């Protein structure tokens, strides 16, 4: 294929006419397709329907340590649920607190506690003149929404194939006491699908923060979300690395079963050092007497142990893998060699990250919407919704059916081509 930039004005105009005819044809179909968020499909949700049958009115709801799940108590969560998520998160059970259905909620509360009461006796952030967070970009829009909500200044840190630019992270963290945290999705990152390298994790664990209350917000949302059995990324465990480096308190590790069981009715957890967990418990006891133990028990009875989760996730992968491969195939076939876009083929997670020519992302998303395809807003993967290059687009293949996905991918590449041609013509 000839790169678009090597085509003459006449060739570009001729190409545009043909593509516009195709676009008009697609638009006339009145399609309604959605690739906007990483929602599991109905087929994936059906995998967990057996969970609805493991408990009934005749079930024994007493835990292995004698706790009645129907009653008050258990601030930390039931022992079996702590063991289940501890094994999934690769940490000791005593380093885990089980929460409700949403790890996002846990992250929000963790930032809120720091704002109002400080971290382990440090000055509450609300009393400080300036609080800053480092934000690897492109990244997770809901992370950025939390820090923006609290008025925390966000600083872009570029992602590399090995994770965030650690030279920049080390420099900012060590020199500026106003830098209190960094958002991380370390495995199959949102949206690029990048897993942090061993060296990156090691450098995180060995950070020397200027702020005593600096924390790494390690959101390992996709820790078991592989697409392939024979090709899987490996991530070093951050808690043990921090402990080895003499920084045991520097990390909060988050995870949940949101895209494993039911997104609206899963269980979430935080893993951290004993000192951090004491600090969290001391404030959590004013907030709740304990989270939903019946749901925790339901998850344990359904999955039984971490091996049950691994086998369950193989079924998810069987549904997700063809969808990812279908999108990648269309991108490679239709855009390969044209020089108007690049993408990463991930081995897990929920997204495909696409980078258009500079200044084209917003127009591509708008164009796709004209033809009935809704995508995540361009810029969403950056703090304040501002992509300085207007190039990153997050593709979420999980929710549509395979048939819908094939049509959606065709609309997307058609939109990329048309907007790119207009961009090149405008530059002539």
Of 304, 335, 361, the last residue of a domain is 304
pLDDT digit string, tens, across residues 325-384: 999 999 999 999 999 999 999 999 999 999 999 999 999 999 999 999 999 999 999 999
Q: What is the CATH number of the domain that holds 401?
A: 3.90.1150.10
Within a domain: residue 53?
A: no
The whole-angstrom distance between residue 271's C-alpha and the CA centroid of its chain comes to: 17
Range of the domain at 381: 4-44+310-427
Of 255, 277, 304, the last residue of a domain is 304
- pTM comes to 0.97
Q: Which among 91, 38, 84 is positioned nearest to 252, based on CA atoms? A: 91
Neighbour count for residue 84 (Cβ, 10 Å): 27
pLDDT over 90 (residue 1): no
The answer to whether 266 and 260 have CB atoms below 8 angstroms apart is yes
The whole-angstrom distance between residue 33's C-alpha and the CA centroid of its chain comes to: 22
Task: Please check whether residues 334 and 253 belong to one and the same domain.
Answer: no
pLDDT digit string, tens, across residues 294-316: 999 999 999 999 999 999 999 99
277: which residues sit within 8 A by CB, 6+ positions away? 95, 97, 270
Of 304, 326, 361, the last residue of a domain is 304
SS3 196: coil
Task: Please check whether residues 291 and 381 belong to one and the same domain.
Answer: no
Number of domains in the chain: 2
Angle at 130 between CA 385 and CA 111, to 5 degrees: 65
Q: Which among 85, 119, 83 is positioned nearest to 100, based on CA atoms? A: 85
Within a domain: residue 409?
A: yes
pLDDT over 90 (residue 199): yes
- The pLDDT value recorded for residue 403 is 87
Task: Please check whether residues 358 and 229 belong to one and the same domain.
Answer: no
Task: Please check whether residues 114 and 231 belong to one and the same domain.
Answer: yes
Task: Please check whether residues 341 and 289 belong to one and the same domain.
Answer: no
Neighbour count for residue 206 (Cβ, 10 Å): 15
> Using CB atoms within 10 A of its CB, is residue 47 exposed (0-12), middle (13-18) or buried (19+)?
middle
> Using CB atoms within 10 A of its CB, is residue 255 exposed (0-12), middle (13-18) or buried (19+)?
buried
């Amino acid at each position: 294929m000839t790169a678009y930039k090597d085509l003459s004005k006449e060739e570009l105009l001729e190409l545009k006419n043909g593509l516009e005819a195709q676009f008009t044809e697609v638009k006339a179909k009145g399609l309604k397709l959605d690739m906007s968020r990483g929602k599991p499909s109905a087929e994936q949700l059906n995998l967990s329907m057996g969970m609805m049958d493991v408990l009934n009115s005749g079930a024994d709801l007493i835990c292995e340590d004698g706790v009645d799940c129907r009653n008050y108590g258990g601030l930390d969560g039931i022992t079996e649920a702590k063991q289940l998520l501890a094994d999934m998160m690769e940490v000791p059970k005593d380093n885990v607190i089980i929460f409700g259905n949403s790890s996002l909620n846990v992250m929000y509360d963790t930032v809120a506690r720091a704002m109002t009461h400080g971290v382990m006796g440090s000055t509450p952030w609300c009393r400080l003149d300036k609080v800053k967070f480092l934000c690897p970009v492109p990244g997770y829009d809901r992370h950025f929404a939390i820090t923006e909500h609290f008025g925390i200044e966000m600083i872009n840190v570029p992602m590399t194939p090995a994770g965030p630019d650690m030279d920049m992270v080390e420099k900012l963290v060590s020199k500026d006491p106003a830098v209190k945290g960094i958002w991380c999705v370390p495995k199959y990152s949102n949206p690029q699908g990048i897993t942090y390298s061993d060296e990156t994790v090691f450098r995180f664990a060995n950070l020397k923060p200027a702020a005593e209350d600096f924390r790494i917000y390690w959101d390992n949302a996709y820790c078991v979300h592989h697409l392939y059995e024979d090709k899987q990324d490996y991530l070093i465990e951050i808690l043990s690395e921090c402990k080895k480096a003499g920084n045991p308190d520097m990390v909060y590790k988050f995870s949940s079963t949101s895209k494993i069981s039911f997104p609206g009715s899963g269980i979430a957890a935080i893993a951290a050092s004993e000192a951090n967990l004491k600090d969290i418990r001391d404030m959590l006891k004013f907030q709740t007497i304990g989270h939903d133990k019946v749901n925790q028990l339901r998850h344990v009875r359904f999955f039984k142990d971490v091996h049950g989760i691994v086998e369950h996730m193989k079924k998810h992968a069987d549904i997700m893998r063809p969808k990812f491969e279908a999108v990648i195939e269309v991108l490679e076939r239709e855009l390969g060699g044209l020089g108007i876009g690049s993408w990463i083929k991930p081995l897990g997670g929920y997204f495909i990250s696409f980078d258009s020519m500079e200044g084209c992302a917003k127009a591509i998303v708008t164009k796709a919407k004209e033809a009935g395809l809704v995508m995540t807003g361009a810029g969403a993967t950056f703090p304040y919704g501002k992509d300085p290059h207007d190039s990153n687009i997050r593709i979420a293949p999980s929710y549509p059916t395979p048939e819908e996905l094939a049509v959606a991918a065709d609309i997307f590449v058609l939109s990329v081509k048309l907007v790119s041609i207009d961009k090149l013509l405008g530059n002539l």
